[in-house]
């Protein structure tokens, strides 16, 4: 039970009966269990993200990623708390290509129930393999924040991008 203080308190009642005297009064013991609160960061990608259906890797196509970082936990992060946010492309077989790392993103004012909005621009690198990819955002990528749930720090686009491998076309002039 969340009570709005620094810890959550759950109350349990336990009745004891000796099994022998049916007329005896049960003994009730109340136990309060305090559970410490934590920060719990989540990531989401705006549903209006504009993903091209196909691109050539390295062609300079810019993709703007509107990202929301939320704190669904019961504690505000420490006053100087900063995290890294990674944006990557994940293929159907799970291969990941790092596209961007935003370092030292401040979350120190991210109160419980609050959120921060950011927009990062990424480009697909020239050497990226051809395939179908989803874009992924990972908040607290280095696990710098002690959280109640570390498994919800990632958001994935619902749409995919077909990537064709880019090539450098070198031509020369000889005298």
Q: What angle do CA 107, 98, 47 make, to 5 degrees?
A: 60
The span from the CA of 20 to the CA of 115, in Å, is: 58
pLDDT at 1 over 50: no
Q: Average pLDDT of 61-88? A: 94
Contacts of 136 (CB under 8 A, 6+ apart): 86, 87, 88, 89, 90, 96, 154, 155, 156, 157
Secondary structure element (H or E) that encloses residue 153, with its range: none
Q: What is the mean pLDDT of residues 56-74?
A: 92
> What is the Rg, in whole angstroms, of the alpha carbon atoms belonging to the chain?
25
Please choose, from the candidates 44, 45, 65, 60, the residue with its C-alpha nearest in 3D space to the C-alpha of residue 128. 60
- pLDDT tier at 7 (50, 70, 90 boundaries)? very low
């Amino acid at each position: 039970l969340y009570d709005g203080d620094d810890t959550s308190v759950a109350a349990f009642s336990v009745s004891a009966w000796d099994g022998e005297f049916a007329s005896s009064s049960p003994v009730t013991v109340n136990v309060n269990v305090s559970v410490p609160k934590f920060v719990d960061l989540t990531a989401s990608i705006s549903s209006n993200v504009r993903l091209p259906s196909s691109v050539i890797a390295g062609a300079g196509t810019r993709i703007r990623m509107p990202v929301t970082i939320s704190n669904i936990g019961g504690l505000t992060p420490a006053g100087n708390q900063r995290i890294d946010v990674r944006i990557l492309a994940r293929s159907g077989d799970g291969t990941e290509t790092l596209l961007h790392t935003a370092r030292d993103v401040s979350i120190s004012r991210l109160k419980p129930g609050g959120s921060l909005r950011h927009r990062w621009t990424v480009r697909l690198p020239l050497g990226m393999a051809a395939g179908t990819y989803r874009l992924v955002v990972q908040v607290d990528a280095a696990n710098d924040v002690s959280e109640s749930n570390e498994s919800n720090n990632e958001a994935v686009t619902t749409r995919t991008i077909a990537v064709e491998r880019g090539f450098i076309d070198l031509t020369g002039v000889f005298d």
